[in-house]
Structure 1
């Protein structure tokens, strides 16, 4: 289980730090919940690039899919540092870390099952996933699968209990 090594209260109104378990639980709805995830990568000139992604939180890890020819995949190949933002129920969350391709077939096969349970008919293949369709921004199949090695997370609560917290995770 991913547990923070440090918790820092960012709240300026006197609220207690948020518990990481709240964010982790909010990330774990059914894959069919269709949460809005946005990936930010960095261009060589330092400009950010942000785009929507198909992501799932599974076994305390964030996974996402991208076609090998897309700008996001090309940028990750050059610089794996990235952030992923998501609006959860009562919580806005940003996850930061490094993304790496998942190439282990048993892991890919298990993740394809997770995506299928959410309604996307993904099938694991040696390169990643294939399916009859994907988002137009994903490019043509096959699609790579990435795992985010979490380094920091920041949450701002929009429902009680309110607060703002940063968590740091072991590298």
Structure 2
């Protein structure tokens, strides 16, 4: 799915061009860590680092049912996932905004468990239980999909701010 791309000239060098979506997508695919921002029931933000995979035009993450991020998503599915270089003069930082949806389909969970292990290695092997990931050493993890509504890209060096908006 190709998003609508827009350069925000207010926050970009005069000669900057929009970052291509293909470049942003590649970074989402290969990033090792991401920051997830959710909102607590009392309105305070909650930010935590986690692992995630980009597949089928969405980003996926998992968490224990009792963890704060899972509890937050019960009452407010809106969230943001952030990744990037965290450097001042080079790289591309990305923010994916969307709503987190539980993934419970066994076939999809199986494909995602393979994606986790392929990306992060055998320490991140998951089996598929009843609508959840299970770990061989015990424990279950809920899996969430965030289909992006909007992605922001902040390119450093030739400074630019690009936004990509997705249909739907």
Shared fold (TM-score greater than 0.5)? yes
- Matched with 2:115 is 114
Deviations 1:98-145 (A, max 9, x none): 001001100000011111212111111113111145xxxxxx721001
Deviations 1:28-51 (A, max 9, x none): 23xxx6x12010001122211001
Paired with 1:132 and 1:85, the residues of 2 have a C-alpha distance of: 29
Farther off after superposition, 64-73 or 119-128:
119-128
Deviations 1:60-115 (A, max 9, x none): 21000011111100110111000000115921000000001001100000011111
Paired positions, count:
159
1:128 aligns with 2:132: yes
Unaligned 5+ residue runs, structure 1?
Answer: 134-139
Paired with 2:6 and 2:98, the residues of 1 have a C-alpha distance of: 16
Q: State the secondary structure of the residue aligned to 2:94.
A: strand
Q: State the secondary structure of the residue aligned to 1:26.
A: helix
Farther off after superposition, 70-79 or 118-127:
118-127
CA contact (8 A) 2:5 2:18 kept: no
- Matched with 1:86 is 83
1:69 aligns with 2:60: no
Paired with 1:50 and 1:73, the residues of 2 have a C-alpha distance of: 12
- Please report how far the alpha carbon of residue 55 of structure 1 lies from its aligned counterpart in structure 2 after TM superposition: 0.5
Paired with 2:4 and 2:40, the residues of 1 have a C-alpha distance of: 30
- Give the ranges of 4+ consecutive aligned residues of structure 1 lying more than 4 Å apart after TM superposition: none
CA contact (8 A) 2:38 2:45 kept: yes
CA contact (8 A) 1:38 1:52 kept: yes
- Please report how far the alpha carbon of residue 170 of structure 1 lies from its aligned counterpart in structure 2 after TM superposition: 1.6
Q: Tell me the TM-score normalized by structure 2.
A: 0.86
CA contact (8 A) 1:56 1:64 kept: yes
Unaligned 5+ residue runs, structure 2?
Answer: none
CA contact (8 A) 1:9 1:16 kept: no
- Matched with 2:33 is 36
